[in-house]
Amino acid sequence: MIAWNDIDTVLLDMDGTLLDLAFDNWFWQQVVPQKYAEVNGLTNDQAHRLIKEWIDRHQGTLNWYCLDFWSSELGLDIASLKRDVASRICYRPGAEDFLRALRESGRHIVMVTNAHPDTLAVKKALTGLEQYFDKLITSHELGAAKESAPFWEALQQHLPFDRQRSILVDDSLPVLQAGKEYGVGHLWSILHPDSTQTPRPHTNPFPAIDRFADVMPSKVQPA
């Protein structure tokens, strides 16, 4: 169980943690390659292979998450494409109840996401998730991806928090590892970030949330 009495600040990822990663995987693996193939006279397989090679080269960097970068690289309006298919964006099971309980618990709740600001705007419009947070922070604002130490140093300057009394919940193991190296006291992963894929095995080095109902927060205890 999460030691909620030892936690004041809750740092939450968005995609794959609160929202179903199925949308993002579908968008990048199907929608973008199909559009690129159509524009450039390629087969879907050719387009998929080329785009995967480009994406793999930038994985873990700020470019990997930047819609402006990919729009320039691919010659497509990625933000517009995403808005066109945004109706498929949805919460992971139990995520909104979890957010409501966090809000009611009295803790400081901060979204920390690698998502581009345009992506965040689309997802806010569809889900209303901003109502549950004290602050929404994108890695683009801080100039570094969450997988890197500079992100955490910039976050501390931007929004000071007690590392040991904070929890980070994220579906990305590299991000959790970066949080661990920075000294975040409580680190939890997500067992089933993409509803269309099988859950991950319990083999990663961080405890994993399967059902949000099993880790609902308690109220903040008075000092």
CB contact burial 141-177 (16+ within 10 A = b; e otherwise): ebebbbbbeebbebbeeebebeeeebbbbbbbeebbe
SS3 category, 38:
helix
Count the Cβ atoms, other than its own, within 10 Å of residue 66: 23
Alpha-carbon gap, residue 140 to 115, rounded angstroms: 8
Closest by CA to 52, choosing from 68, 74, 83, is 74
Query: Quick check: is 6 catalytic?
Result: yes
| E strand intervals along the chain | 9-12, 108-113, 135-138, 166-169, 186-190, 208-209
Residues tagged active-site: 6
